Structure 1
Amino acid sequence: MGRMDSDWEGEYDNATGCRNTVYTAPQTVVAPQWANVTLGVLGTQRLDRAIARNAATAGAKVAILGAPLQPKLRTVAAYPDPASVVKGARYAILPVSAPGQSAQASASFAPERAYGSALGGMSAGAHLIAPRTDAALTRHAAALGLTVHSYEDGLRPILDAASEAMDELFVRVEKAGTQLQGSRVCVIASERIPDLLILRLSSAGARVHLATNERGLDDAFPGVTVLPLSDLPVKSPKFDAIFSTINGPVVDARELGSLPDHALVVDLADPPGSVDFQLAKQLGRKAIWARGIMRRVPPLGQAYWSVIGGLIASLEQNES
């Protein structure tokens, strides 16, 4: 594959060489007795469901609003109404919003109006987990005997670090002579979907395609076209840039040979990587190996759960 391997984690590209930089991903705080935790997840979007799956994987008993998780988990129940989701629950997680969601959409949502008395069916002394708190929500919760907890401050450092990593990546892309505005860009991913990268590319004005064999993502990212990995050789001639996050030889002779001459290839995978750099050089393709960048950009579900799970763990330990 034409790689440079070592025992440190850093970055490499065929123009600037290596930089020694160690990156670490946020770790989830694990409560000692997750089996005793019951929680309801009131959001219905992909990020809410990722949090529900993480909570269930940790060992909690989880209820969600709307359709069942796919694939199903034994400890996750689905209900059509908020009252059933939070009935008897010790925790309720209010709908979350991904970075970049319009402030107007967030401001127009009032949990105290959306859920009304449904939250009153939670267990005595239960907790509401919210992105942020305000006076109206706090008063409504107090009237029902509930306590509101915000995770916004805990999440901000993780998202800030991820944003800095994306800024660094985009600077390197621009230095390579690629303008994202109006460009056709393809993100290649496996089960670990780089949602923050997709959102940043979209906000930069790129026309984003997501190549993955993961199912159920057609409506996950508004404006993003999802295609199977098998379509890459056919679609590659239309792309101005490819960002690959898969470990393994995904971007090889077929893709590199069919890309336009001006196209940029960005390998975001750890060794052995996914791009044949020797062939890319032979074909005159622009290529960047941004090794380590994505370790600072966790999937949003993981980032949110690392904070929400830590908050729940702390509450459980304080009350034990």
Structure 2
Amino acid sequence: MLTGLNVAVIGGDARQLEVIRRLSEHDANLFLIGFDQLEHGYTGSVKINSHNISLEGMDAVILPVSGTGSEGQVEAVFSAEEIVLTREMVASTPEHCIFYSGIRTKYLEELMEKEKRKLVPILDRDDVAIYNSIPTVEGTIMLVIQHTDFTIHGSNIAVIGFGRTGMSVARTFAALGANVKVGARKQKDLARITEMGMKPFHLSELKDELSSIDICINTVPALVLSSDVLAAMPVHALIIDLASKPGGTDFHYAEKRGMKAILAPGLPGIVAPKTAGQILANALTILLTEQHQLERSMDNGSER
């Protein structure tokens, strides 16, 4: 149980509702920021006005999966007001306060370093990323079907990156009968791709390997599909970029060339927000329970 733990939940989408529900069940004291348009109430929760945000006394702060924008903007689909995480807000928290976010952002990392607060990017956890790859794959299949006039079966698909998401994407499309090739850098990944019955290639060979594909699915959060790589690809090729913003594709050049390129980093929250939210809620419950137990043991130690 999280009895006595003060947790602020700032912004987010439908996934955060599952997080709020789970933490409420575990008896945390919840302070909801950016949920003024949410009619549903939760036991033990208090809505805080977006114009008068205070994080004093918080033991933990939960941010959306997307973290913050370059200037601290926080996505909040249940609020009509813009919410910005400022240095003053972070500084007002107790030193032991931990900030939980889906991903790392430059703004967040610099802010936490300045104010000496701990940042925990939940999607860095292997378990969360692997579970999260399930709705990501389903959403990718949905996009491919919506934006092509041919079947997945028999199509030529290139998956860039063989991390936790890339592996799930590649395996699923291969199971659907596509001819899948996968680009990676590490030799161990190239070996595993071969063992799984797919064609491996090194990322240094991108231009040659993408010259005859129908669909390209990128999972690498770096500019891998640059203008010169895109120029070597068929114009009809569909690009689905699953990497976090701004993605790994030169979208301006793709549009200029007449190629269809879709940036889709938040698919779990779009195609299966309930399941994606439960994945986050499970991880956060474990992390907050560990934090709460540690804080209580330290308090007991100081009393002695």
* RCO comparison, higher one (Cα < 8 Å, 6+): 1
- TM-score range (shorter-chain normalised) is 0.3 to 0.5
Structure 1 length normalisation: TM-score? 0.42
Please, what TM-score do these two structures have when normalized by structure 2? Answer: 0.44
